[in-house]
Amino acid sequence: MAVAAPAARARETVRQKRERDQELLVWPDLVFVEFICAVLFTITFVVLATFFDAPLLNKANPNVTPNPSKAPWYFMNLQELLLHMDKGLAGVIVPTILLIGLMAIPYVDRDNEGQGSWFGTINSVRITVFSFFWSSIWISWLILWDNGSHVLVYQHLPQLWGSNTRLQWLGDKNPFAGWPVEGALKPIWDFIFLRNRLAIRDTWSWSLPVPFQPGSGPHDGRLDWPQDFTRIPLPLNGTWLWHWAQPGWMPGWMLHVYWYKSTFSLPAITAEWAVPILAMLGLPALMIIILRKIGWAHTMRDAIIALFTGFIVVYFALTIVGAAFRGKGQQLVPPYRVPNLNDDPAIQRQVPLSPSQFVVVDARTPGSGIYG
Amino acid sequence: MAMTEQPKGPGLGDWLYDKLFHNYIWSSVFRSGYPSTPRNQMLAIATNVFLHLHPTRIHKTHVKITHTYCLGGLSFFMFLGLTVTGVMLMFYYVPDVNRAFTDVQSLETNVRFGMLIRNLHRWMAHAMVLTVLLHMMRVFYTGAYKPPREFNWVVGVILLVLTLLLSFTGYLLPWDQLALWAITVGTNIAGAAPILGGQSRFVLIGGFDVGPNALLRFYTLHVIALPLLAAIFMSVHFWRIRRDGGLARPL
Ligand code: HEM
């Protein structure tokens, strides 16, 4: 019986009943709407294509790299994501999981409630609005924070009241100087006022006295972040008969998957994997917890609406930032400072050549053109 | 004076209509005249190869524009429009690094309406990505993926991926700076996969850099493989809509 249960459950799916008295004939009621739609569509695009030309820059040249180089707009969100985490995570793992997640939606949310009408369940509109603001605010904050913008804003605060002095960033100060527990408090202070994500790997530092030397750094009797954490052996490392050399009998392809000499860097993994993953899982989870606490979200559909809305917001937000706010070297700049590739003489849009620069074949006058 | 309704004699319009639509050739193409009775209207849908993807009758809520905003239909129109303009572009375009760019250039300047065709193709391609995304949003917010439509949602996601890939492969073909570097950036993203990244990028562009092999591969995918797949999945998508009892409706 246990085996038959899922099938039985699937068959329970309530099918909508036909309401024959509510039905219209497809001809003319639908076919005509489609026809009008097709006509409008055609007119719109012919007009659009008459007035706006598709771009054509200079011929492809592998030696001249435009700065910035950008992916097509619908992949600019991925390109933007690459700036904020490990490349493999942003470019492949996250999109794969998202696609699988999208496909899984109907298998997770199987209740028929609210099906077939816009925002059919009771709290769906407010959940959507909430998720819209939650996601927009967080995604903006994360991009700005990763860019260190909060530091710049703080430093330039005095300009608000007309002064030209710059404040020193809190993270660069040491309020505990000379305290007996300075070594313990300063790292916490620094962590709170980190400049951005990569600072965890590059500038954050602390040091603990230890009786032994576990890390890869100098054997100085102290455990130091980050030096001592950059070459932690993986479990497989050196395990092949406790030899650290390449297992010679292995075919090359196997060596690729057998990490006999691999180490990992905890500071890099923290900055490139852990923090981004924490943000990507934690913030949506927090949103759902809040929605449940304030009593808006009860069902799976509610949770999925919040998540899907967040996905759409982040998808478009990253696209917009990638397209309109990334200038040379993918620096975060206001849109008017994003270089226009058409102004770059190396990339410049081709001025359409005048017909005289081409060989004109005129079929009507024999002997003209290339046959002439 | 008793007024009796006299049937009017046939006017010029009637004569023209009769000549146009009641002749031997016309009726060899369209077996019956304008379907004016419900029965004939249903037959018009059911017996026409292009229309028979439709059901013959449809619930009245689904005719309202604000239910679907025609977004799925528009995506499909884009696909058709792209096929037509794409075939035209193929007449003038050779996927060879020495020719591709000049082919596009002379298409713009030397071919009558060439620029228009290229513009149409380009803008429809962008618009299709957008309408497919919006269509997905409308399906989501109307809760139309719920049982029994789970699988059609999955087919939809596959169509979304195919649409993105179609657009992406087409991006390289003009072989200008925009194309080369966008595809370089895009395929670098694929190359970032943890274990097989380098290999999959190599297979995708047929080498280490975006060059002649990449152009040929993208072209082949763009004009044959992906459109074929998309057409197949679209047929499944449309057929499933009918098998699942038309569009979703509140129970
Ligand atoms: C090339 C892409 C696509 C085309 C041409 C297409 C076409 C269509 C059309 C014509 C309809 C009829 C209703 C309407 O117009 O809204 C429809 C319905 C539907 N589509 Fe798509 N679609 C595409 C992509 C997608 C995507 C990306 C999804 C979701 C991820 C999706 C999921 C669905 C579902 C579940 C229905 C049934 C809706 C209902 O019952 O109300 N489709 N599609």
- A116/B182 CB distance under 8 A: no
pLDDT bracket for residue A3 (50, 70, 90) = very low
Q: What is the mean pLDDT of chain A?
A: 82
pLDDT tens-digit map of A194-214? 988 999 998 888 888 877 665
pLDDT of res. A11: 46
Q: What does the DSSP 8-state code read for residue A167? A: P
Please state which CATH number belongs to domain B66-243.
Answer: 1.20.810.10
pLDDT of res. B239: 92
pLDDT of res. A351: 55
- Which of A30, A78, A128 to probe by mutation at the B interface, max B CB count within 10 Å? A30
Res A51 pLDDT > 90: yes
- A93/B194 CB distance under 8 A: yes
Q: What is the mean pLDDT of chain B?
A: 90
pLDDT of res. A219: 65
Between A and B, how many residue pairs show a Cβ–Cβ distance under 8 A?
269
- Average confidence (pLDDT) over A39-48: 94
- Is the peptide bond between A68 and the residue preceding it cis, with omega within 30 degrees of 0? yes
ipTM of predicted assembly, 2 dp: 0.88
Q: Identify the residue whose C-alpha is closest to ligand 1 atom 5.
A: B76
Candidates B53, B229, B237: which one to mutate for ligand 1, based on the most atoms within 8 Å of Cβ?
B237
Helix (DSSP H) and strand (DSSP E) numbers for chain B? 12, 1
- The residue among A81, A53, A90 whose CA lies nearest residue A326 is A81
For chain B, give every domain's residue range: 34-63, 66-243
Provide the CA A325 distance to its chain's centre, in angstroms.
15
- B171/A72 CB distance under 8 A: yes
- B157/A352 CB distance under 8 A: no
pLDDT bracket for residue A184 (50, 70, 90) = confident
Res A343 pLDDT > 80: no
Q: B-contacting residues of A 14-73, CB under 8 Å?
A: 14-20, 22-31, 33-34, 37-38, 41-42, 45-46, 48-50, 52-62, 64-66, 69-73
pLDDT of res. A368: 44
Which residue is it, tokens 């771009």? A55
pLDDT tens-digit map of A94-145? 999 999 999 999 999 988 888 889 998 999 999 999 999 999 999 999 999 9
Q: Angle, nearest 10°, between helix axes A26-51 and B38-46? A: 50
* Greatest extent of chain A over all pairs of C-alpha atoms, in Å: 99
Measuring CA to CA, how many Å separate B234 from each of A98, A99, A347, B53? Answer: 22, 18, 38, 11
pLDDT tens-digit map of B59-91? 888 888 888 898 999 999 999 999 999 999 999
Closest CA–CA distance from residue A148 to any residue of chain B (Å):
24
pLDDT of res. A172: 84
